[in-house]
Amino acid sequence: MKSILNLALSLAAALLFGTAPAMSADAPAQPAAQVQAKGAHNQAQLWRDARSGEAGVTTVRGPEAGVLIQSGGETWRELRNGPITLYGGIALCVVAVAIGLFYLRRGMIRLSGPPTGRHIQRFNTLERMAHWSMAVSFVILAVTGLVLLFGKHVLLPVFGYTLFSWLAVIGKNLHNFIGPLFLLSIVVSFFIFVKDNFWKKEDAEWIAKAGGLLSGEHVPSWRFNFGEKFMFWFGVVFLGLTVGISGLIMDFPNFGQVRDTMQTVNIIHSVGALLFVCLMLGHIYIGTIGMEGAYDSMRYGHVDEAWAKEHHELWYNQEKLKPADASKTEPGAAAAHS
């Protein structure tokens, strides 16, 4: 009986100590699996920290090198590809249609009488060089900028990926290299033309009568009327410098600019450029097919006396009081350009 009891105790001890390691090995496996599963679905705090924009620890050197995620980039992308592209495109179309309708209604603004054949100098060589440098660079920047902003929506479906990629690359490089030249031409033009673009009391009458564009009424003005002065101060000086300086900041990103700065500057650049293009569409219209003799004044530098008296009478009277100068008054010059 005693031997049977000892055998039973031995078997019980063997079972107890033999299964204990297996149980102890399996015991921590379940909590570890639970912790791992729990961690895989509970990364909220980790991503909140990553998206906070706070710099972490890294061996990489440079501005924002320790920032894992800069959330402002998504905000910039949505703003640029959303409201700016949509409303900017609508604004351009509205301005273009308005100019077309105005031309159909008003036609070219022609002289009320025949030309005299006597020409008076309106722009000298330096003034025309400054203007055309600014004009040519502006057209290149406007076309390439519109391709970069609207190209994937308008040109990509038509040209396909290969051709559009070439256009985008060429446009981007032209835009980057012509931009500084455009800014330089703005600065030069400012110092050349600023003396004739200050406010005069006669500008109030021009504003009240909208320059006679709709009524056809004659409104005396000096060398530049209020419309041209508005283009100079708001268009060339304010928008031109805004677009030019913001473009320089993006052209040379190696002066410590962080991503938030570049995104903000890009938005300012895009909005300013769209406003500038809308404004310049009207200027280009008046300077080409909108007004008789306007293009010749900047191409050749002189205008017929009838044109000068009709559109800038106060300036014309002032010029006629100056001593006669063969370079400023050219009889018979009209025949050379007719």
**Is 108 within the bounds of a domain?**
no
Query: Which amino acid appears at position 6 of this protein?
Result: N
Residue 333 and residue 304: Cα distance in Å, rounded?
8
**Is 44 within the bounds of a domain?**
no
- Domain of 195, in residue numbers: 115-337
Single pTM value for the model: 0.80
**Is 231 within the bounds of a domain?**
yes
- Those residues whose C-beta lies under 8 Å from the C-beta of residue 289, and which sit 6 or more positions away, are 103, 108
Our count of domains for the chain comes to 1
Domain containing residue 151: CATH number? 1.20.950.20
- Strands ordered across the beta sheet of 329-331: 302-304, 118-121, 329-331
**Is 321 within the bounds of a domain?**
yes
Residue 300 and residue 321: Cα distance in Å, rounded?
23
Mean pLDDT, consecutive 10-residue stretches, the chain (338 aa), reads: 52 49 48 54 71 71 72 87 95 97 91 91 96 97 96 92 94 96 97 96 89 76 94 97 96 86 95 97 94 93 94 92 63 49
**Is 93 within the bounds of a domain?**
no
**Is 181 within the bounds of a domain?**
yes
**Is 184 within the bounds of a domain?**
yes
What does the pLDDT look like over 215-238, one tens digit per residue? Answer: 667 788 999 999 999 999 999 999
**Is 314 within the bounds of a domain?**
yes
